[in-house]
Amino acid sequence: MSKFKKWMKASLLISGLSIILLFIVTVNSETIETVLKIKYEYIILAVIMHMVAYFMWALRTKSMSQGIDYKIKFLSCVKIVTASKFAASITPSSIGGEPLRIELLHQNELPIGRASAIVLGERFMDALLILFSAPMALYILRDGFSNSSLDIIFIMGEFILVSVLLITLYGLLRPGNLKRIIHFIAIKLTKLLGKKREDQIYHVLKKIDSELYNFHASLRMLLREGRISLVCGMLFTVFYWLFLFSILPVILMGLNQNPPVIITFAAQILLLIITAVPITPGASGVAELGASTLFSIFVVSSLIGVTVVTWRALTYYMNLLVGGFVSIKIAKDTELINRLFG
């Protein structure tokens, strides 16, 4: 069985067990009474908002590609985003989304280096927005919870995000050093694998040097000539997260609750940092446990299970469903996922 299939099965199993446990602990007569009165129009609205979030990300990708003089069709960008969300949903800390997105951009005639610049730029924008929002979220929720285990996981998530941000900045500011590090690793590999592999590694290094040049050339182009594209990309980033974070309060409205929108946003920002810790595929189990703890600040205990399950269905299982459909519909995506992660 490929690693891809193992991750998917593990992700679904852990998530399913977590959901069953939540239902056992939280469901009572009040839960059933509330569910019977659910306003389905709000659930439909939440689904639409998630679809709009896909479109915001696709517009960001399109805008960033235009900034380096490459034009990709909007529908192609939607396909790239949804397929990569599928891969991200079944790999630890969403690591599968980036290589798949780079490869799919490459299939749309972007050199690997330029595709990497777009994907790295997108992740940099996401990390910047979340890291700047995190202190505000902590301040808003400062009296809401006191769980030492959650604190440790949050600190680990924050450390990972900051590390990625610093490594990215170092690579941008010191491209020569990055090249030397890659060559150093390649030389060590040559000694390890023997002289027979020397020619292969030499050709790989030439390709890496070429793509690193494309990568930094693309970043320079974005920073100098594509600044409008960068500004648009940041705006689409803000809109993407606004739509995604708005799903939770809309779900609560559907459950006849009156959610404090700012607090729901703050809880999701902290949850996003917690799920950055690469513990399980798709953050299964971690997301459900973290959500049940953080959402308990503004959701009554009888509705915690229903809220977490509905939220997870629309933000996680929907990624699996839509992204999986796109990947299966376009058979080469399925083969590519298997090749990348199998």
> Which stretch of 13-22, 138-147, 269-278, 289-298 has the lowest confidence by average pLDDT?
138-147
Are 120 and 64 in contact by the 8 Å Cβ rule? The answer is no
pLDDT band at 220 (very low <50, low <70, confident <90, very high): low
Residues 6+ apart with CB under 8 A from 258: 252
* Backbone dihedral angles phi then psi of residue 92, each to the nearest 5 degrees: -60, 130
Q: What is the mean pLDDT of residues 76-97?
A: 80
Q: What is the mean pLDDT of residues 151-167?
A: 64
Give pLDDT, residue 237. Answer: 94
* Backbone dihedral angles phi then psi of residue 15, each to the nearest 5 degrees: -65, -45
CA nearest neighbour of 113 among 219, 232, 222: 219
Q: Tell me: pLDDT of 58 over 80.
A: yes
Are 286 and 262 in contact by the 8 Å Cβ rule? The answer is no
The structure's pTM equals 0.79
84-93, 150-159, 293-302: which is most confident: 293-302
**125: Cα separation from own chain's centroid:** 12
Give pLDDT, residue 22. Answer: 84
State how far the Cα of 143 lies from the Cα of 148, in Å rounded to an integer: 14
167-171, 190-194, 197-201, 264-268: which is most confident: 264-268
**Which residue is listed with tokens 């890659």?**
182
State how far the Cα of 106 lies from the Cα of 8, in Å rounded to an integer: 25
pLDDT band at 331 (very low <50, low <70, confident <90, very high): very low
Q: Tell me: pLDDT of 32 over 60.
A: yes
